[in-house]
Amino acid sequence: MTKLHTSVAALQLVEKGLVTVDEDVSRLLPSFAEKEILTGFGDDGAPSTRKRKNPITLRLLLTHSAGAGYDFMSGDLAKVSKLRGPPKNPGTIDDAFDLPLLYEPGEAYAYSSSIDRVGQVIEKLTGQKLEDYMRQNIWEPLGMENTTFFVDNHPEIKARRVPMAFRADPSQPVVENADRKTFTTGLKEAFGGQGLLSSIKDYIKILHSLLVDDEKLLKKETAAALFQPQLTPASKASLLEQMKNPEWAVGDWPLTNEYDWGLGGILVDGDKHPYRKRGALLWGGAANLTWFIDRTAGVCGTFGTQVMPPSDPQVRPIFKAFEEETYRRAGKL
């Protein structure tokens, strides 16, 4: 659940006047800015592309509407990855996401590596490594002592790291396997969209800070943007189309057709949900983890496992049970 941390860090830079949410940040992302839009594949299987026309902005990056995708979620990008062959510089953002765009920025939605690019923007603008910036500006102010991208540099955290578990068959138990590759394996730099190691007790601190709006992380007017719809009409339509398959994302996603994207996660954009209020912000993580912040109801929460693959069918109903019980105990059902 790395992306929320990176989103908050980026908005801190907006507050400092180092960048705006709507300026073109292509100059800060040369590797990403040169990517062209995938248009298909030739008879020989080679990908065909065209040049991008629209600018790349922080708002589009933060809302997964800048054109990027993930090769494990897009068959076309998976095909490009296979054709590309082994990475030339493994463990880096530029190499891991050396893929074409799926669409013109601002004209669709695809869950993506765009927050990893936001991490690169943060490093360029601050002159700091993402780990160092977050430690000084997010983790230390909140007393988060068990959070890092590089657990090998923190033996006291590494000693308490829980092994990842895997479920090969939905009907079978999970099996721990500390040696199997995960999203943190082999990373040489901090990825803004994945790879953060933390504890549930640490993670709730960032959620609670944003819930009560204590301004330890963001000014009130900046934090408010996290909880406001940000997608263009075309991008929202694209997101809603994906939400027709609620199993594509980790979490509990009723078919309300009332979703948008804030600057830090998916946003409830209506009143049909039985207990989530309009403006509630939510998302999760690949190892079957979720978080939510509902300012109107006055609740936040985070639930975690160390289970792969994402959207495990045995864990999925627990997300709903945990969240619903949180609202119940708060007297908001």
DSSP 3-state of 139 = helix
Percentage above 90 pLDDT, the chain: 93
pLDDT in tens, 80-119: 999 998 878 889 999 999 999 999 999 999 999 999 999 9
Separation between Cα atoms, residue 332 and residue 315, nearest integer Å: 24
Provide mean pLDDT across the span 307-315.
94
pLDDT in tens, 293-308: 999 999 999 999 999 9
Torsion angles phi and psi, residue 320, rounded to 5: -65, -45
pLDDT in tens, 181-201: 887 888 999 999 999 999 999
84 and 16: one domain?
yes
Strands 307-308 and 165-166, bridge-based pairing: parallel
Asked if residue 296 belongs to a domain, the reply is yes
195 and 283: one domain?
yes
86 and 191: one domain?
no
DSSP 3-state of 201 = helix
Task: Report the predicted TM-score, pTM, of the whole model to 2 decimal places.
Answer: 0.97
Separation between Cα atoms, residue 36 and residue 63, nearest integer Å: 19
Asked if residue 151 belongs to a domain, the reply is no
Separation between Cα atoms, residue 297 and residue 2, nearest integer Å: 24
Separation between Cα atoms, residue 131 and residue 137, nearest integer Å: 10
Would you say 293 and 211 are in contact if contact means Cβ atoms under 8 Å apart?
Answer: yes
Asked if residue 81 belongs to a domain, the reply is yes
What does the DSSP assignment read for 251-299?
S---S-S-EEE-SSSEEE-SS-SSSPPTT-EEEEETTTEEEEEETTTTE
98 and 230: one domain?
no
Asked if residue 155 belongs to a domain, the reply is no
265 and 212: one domain?
yes
Cβ partners under 8 Å of residue 156, min gap 6: none
pLDDT at 219: 98
108 and 171: one domain?
no
175 and 112: one domain?
no
Strands 266-268 and 259-261, bridge-based pairing: antiparallel
* Domain limits for position 255: 165-329
Would you say 275 and 333 are in contact if contact means Cβ atoms under 8 Å apart?
Answer: yes
